[in-house]
Chain A
Amino acid sequence: MKLIFELPQKENGIIEKRLGTEEVLYCIPYDVDFKGNFAEGWMVVTQSRIILLLNGSLEDEFEISRGSNYKAVTYTGSGVLEGNFDGTLKPVTGYSMTHVPRYMYMARILNELAEGKIPKIFLTEDDHVCSQCGRAFIRGTHICPFCTSRIKIIKRLFKISKPHWHMYLLVISIFWAITGLSMIPPFINRHLVDDYLIQGKRELASILLLVGGLFACAALNTVLVMVRGRIMARIGGLLSMDLKNMVYKKIQSLSLGYLDKRKTGDLMNRINGDTREIQSFIQDHGAMGVNEIILLIAVGIYLFLNNWLLALFVFIPVPFVAIACRKLGTSIGRKFRTQRRVWDKTNSFLQDILSGIRVVKAFGQEKRGIERFGELNREYADVTINNEKYYNTLFPIINFILGAGNFLVLYMGGKLVLGNNMSIGELVQFCMYANYVYKPLRWLGFMPRWFSNAMIGAERIFEVIDEEPEIKDDENPIQHGIRGKVTFRGVTFGYKSYEPVLKDISINVEKGEMIGIVGRSGAGKSTVINLIMRLYDADEGEVLIDGIDIKKLSQKDFRSQLGVVLQETFLFSGTIYENIIYAKSDASYEDVIRAAKIANAHEFIVKFPDGYDTKVGERGQRLSGGERQRIAIARAIINDPKILILDEATASVDTETEQKIQEALGRLVKNRTTFAIAHRLSTLKSADRLMIIDNGSLVEVGTHDELFKAKGLYHDLVVAQRKMSRMQGA
């Protein structure tokens, strides 16, 4: 993220004069003024002051320390940086949405400068604009569609497919063979026409030989094309498989931070969709394409060598058609996109209505849906018909123009023949070769688009493969048998580093202690847990396990000793048995049953017709919330974890189930260091100590009794909770 922009000359002069030797720490654009106009301004920040430049002149100056509570407030479409100066709230600069993240950083930086501190800011967020050409990156990536080097990508793809080099060799030889074969028939035809038709030779045997030759060429060609197709399919398939494996493996190894920022759909697209693009490009277009180009070159050379004038006539229409295609290409693209858009509209509408059909019927709005669908259908039909009319007019015309060369050739060639400068056979041969030219040319017209798409697909895949996981193991990660002591030392962290969610948290948790984490929604409770699980690394401070910095431990080894029961119980598609042994694949049947018994799950599992082999997940048995929770507890127990993470479900279950779950949890937390985000009063009371988090800070620590008596935040939260329970009649 760029926080130091270069000032234009005039502004630079003003600043230099004003500052003298004082160093400029930051300089960012100030592009919306307070009258609501776009402006060309800059905010220059030094250790002690803020200088504002607007439209080429000095606008204002502030002393940073006289202000406090700097805040970047975002409105709709713009934002304002405010500060509290000597008790009055004043706006400092205005900016468009483009600079929102920059100003959020600056607000934090200014607050630190105002307190005389040196700002420690982590600039991990990037711009989404290419620094080379200024174009926006493809959404969700750092790929600039303009700047990516196609050559590099191709080189890389070749490197990946190196293991299959013998297949490539075979395929290339087949390409040449096919091209060679194609050159023969016209030659045979010439002789047939010249020697036999015209001159009247009547040797049946030789005729049959020539015809046989034609037949053989055709047959061999067919065989070679078949083989070529199969090999290309294999190459495409293998390459695709290799890429998919690489991407999937990488995604699994990447940290939660990266995965959080992306949607599941996007990742799935990269693994399946993008690899398919490459595969289909290689199979469908690549194979034919290379052949066409080779053919084009070979034929082109022959034609020009033979009779350059005629050859010229063959190639003349080409540039015209190319230019026309270019110009029309955009309008064709637009038509296609409009069609696509209406199609999407119709689809979304259908999906909306059908998913919500209950609501439609409950409110009796079917007629409205029918009318609307009719409208959309009509629109789609109109657009499609229009487009088809267009294509059906356009393409025949283009084809005709392309083929127009033929008439020229015939005319000129005819004159040559009549003037005895060329035999008919030669003309026939020439024409046949000429016809070979048009298909490749047509193909070349479409090629750039296909190629582009495939390259972008490849680039997206490489982007994932190249990504370095944020949370990396140390060079020599320590494998440590956890005993259970956890320490937080001055931990500060934010998902976006300029917005810390946890501020300066410090606490020492002994082995076997059960800690309840309490706080309002969004206070930072889940974040504490994420840090203990090392799904993220702290921005400042340390997390220590048994006195060892968590960053020095091997992630795999560490996490295999954790037990986790989260709020949303996610069970994979599989059997109950498979889900329970998820973390411990070498568990015995006794292990599983024992774990399920401790979790109070065994009894209901056994009652299912398929027992532990019951399939759960999306396509399987529908389990109640309480049942899922208990299976999740069994899953957490089976590994005998030393540190347990518990994120209590807030969904209410019936009292009996509640009791069973509480019992199971009670057994689970015995003698294990437990961190529990607690909502139930009973859990809170049974905890050894409680951490009360408010707005990211650890405000109170102690037992339930201590904190309640202290009548602080915890006390208020409990009282409010009690009131709620009474209102609900609980």
Chain B
Amino acid sequence: MLNLAIEKKENIPESDIIRYITPRMARFYRTEGGFLSLEIEPGEVYARVNLYRTFPHKEARRYISVLNDKGKEIGLIKSIDDFPPETVRLMEKELSRRYFVPAILKIRSIKEEFEYSYWDVVTDSGERRFTVQGRHNRLVSISETRHLVIDVDGNRFEIADYRKLDPKSIKIIETLI
């Protein structure tokens, strides 16, 4: 059996090579419907690609995986800021479409009743009221100061640095963290 394994090694496709997508060899553009398209020289065209963050909590703009519409990875973008400003804007839009995590700017109130808490906040995407169940894994600390709040439906909200909020908000949120 050992012989067979060594023999067959050449037939096994390489899997650990990272293919970087750089501005020099690739161009992103917007489709009519508002989605993202990719063209890699020479002649490799993808009508629709999806961008995924490989480290969504740590790196918002680096190590972005580019997948085709069947879900297979085409390559990795080391940093979206390597690309020309127009493209960067397109990518930011696409990423914010996929990762909709409004940042909480101000906490109006949090009412706790039974096992739920009812939040009333102002985010950078507008005002919102939502319900959070328990606190166990619904108020996640990504770092000492950065937190993620997940409501009963799965909507996510981020508190980038709770110490930077206004005093009233800090007072409300402090007891929960």
B155, A98: Cβ atoms closer than 8 Å: yes
What range describes how many residues of B lie at the interface? 35 or more
Q: Out of A34, A38, A135, which one reaches B126, CB within 8 Å?
A: A38
Indicate whether A89 reaches chain B with its CB closer than 8 angstroms.
yes
**Contact A77-B99, Cβ < 8 Å, known A38-B125, A88-B31, A97-B153:** yes
- Contact of A78 with B100 in the complex, beta carbons under 8 Å: yes
Contacts of A37 in B (CB 8 A): 125-126
Pairwise interchain contact A91-B156, C-beta atoms closer than 8 A: no
Q: Mark A329-348, 1 if CB is under 8 A from B, else 0.
A: 01000100100010010000
A100 to B151, CA, bound (A): 14
Surface stretch bound by A, among B58-66, B131-139, B159-167: B131-139
Is the beta-carbon distance between B99 and A344 smaller than 8 angstroms?
A: no
Q: A660 near B: Cβ within 8 Å? A: no
**Known interface pairs A76-B100, A100-B154, A139-B133. Does A38 touch B34 (Cβ–Cβ under 8 Å)?**
no
Q: Does B5 contact A (CB under 8 A)?
A: yes
How long is the Cα–Cα vector from A300 to B101 in the complex, in angstroms? 58
Whether B152 contacts A128 by the Cβ 8 Å rule is: yes
**A80 at interface by CB-CB < 8 Å:** yes
A81 to B4, CA, bound (A): 50
A26-37 vs B, Cβ < 8 Å mask (1 yes, 0 no)? 000000101011
Residue in B133, B153, B175 whose Cβ sees the most chain A Cβ within 10 Å: B153
Q: Bits for B122-148, please: 1 = Cβ < 8 Å to A, else 0.
A: 010111100101111000000000000
Determine whether A145 belongs to the interface, using a CB cutoff of 8 Å to chain B.
yes
Find residues 95-138 in chain B having any chain A CB closer than 8 Å to their own CB: 96-102, 112-116, 118, 123, 125-128, 131, 133-136
Chain A: interface secondary structure? mixed
Q: Determine the distance from Cα of A96 to Cα of B130 in the docked complex, in whole angstroms.
A: 11
Tell me which of B8, B114, B128, B131 contacts A38 (CB under 8 A): B128
- Least CB separation from B53: chain A residue: A76
Question: In the complex, which residues of chain B have a beta carbon less than 8 angstroms from the beta carbon of A204?
Answer: none
A77, B156: Cβ atoms under 8 Å?
Answer: yes
Known: A100-B154, A139-B133, A729-B5. A77 touches B100 (CB 8 A): yes
Contact A91 to B131, CB < 8 A, known contacts A77-B100, A77-B156: no
Closest Cβ of chain B: how far from A455's Cβ, in Å? 11
Closest to A138 in B: B115
Interface size band for A = 35 or more
Q: Is the CB of A344 within 8 A of B102?
A: no
Q: Which of A107-161 touch B at CB < 8 Å?
A: 128, 135-136, 138-139, 145-146
- Name the distance in Å between A698's Cβ and chain B's nearest Cβ: 24
- Across-interface contacts of B100 in A (CB, < 8 A): 32, 36, 75-78, 96
Q: Which residue of A lies closest to B128 (CB)?
A: A38
Please measure, in the bound complex, the distance between the C-alpha atom of A210 and the C-alpha atom of B128, giving whole angstroms.
72
Q: How far is the CB of B22 from chain A (nearest CB, A)?
A: 26
Say which residue of A76, A91, A94, A98 sits within 8 Å of B153 (CB atoms): A98
Task: Check B113 against A135 for contact (C-beta < 8 Å).
Answer: yes
By a CB distance below 8 angstroms, the chain A residues around B131 are: 135-136
A452 to B4, CA, bound (A): 68
Q: How far is the CA of A337 from the CA of B135 in the complex (A)?
A: 10
Say yes or no for B23: interface residue by CB 8 A criterion.
no
Interface assignment of A370: CB less than 8 Å from any CB of chain B: no
| A727 within 8 Å of B (CB atoms) | yes
Near A by CB (< 8 A), chain B positions 74-100 give: 96-100
Q: Which 10 A-B pairs have the closest CB atoms?
A: A78-B100, A38-B126, A97-B154, A90-B33, A77-B100, A729-B1, A98-B153, A75-B98, A145-B114, A97-B153
Binding site for B on A (CB under 8 A): 32, 34, 36-39, 75-78, 80, 82, 85, 88-91, 94, 96-98, 100, 128, 135-136, 138-139, 145-146, 330, 334, 337, 341, 344, 452, 727, 729
Q: Known pairs A34-B34, A135-B131. 7 more at Cβ < 8 A?
A: A32-B100, A38-B128, A76-B56, A77-B99, A90-B34, A100-B153, A128-B152
A sample of 8 inter-chain contacts (CB < 8 A) reads A34-B97, A38-B102, A38-B128, A77-B101, A88-B31, A128-B152, A341-B135, A452-B114
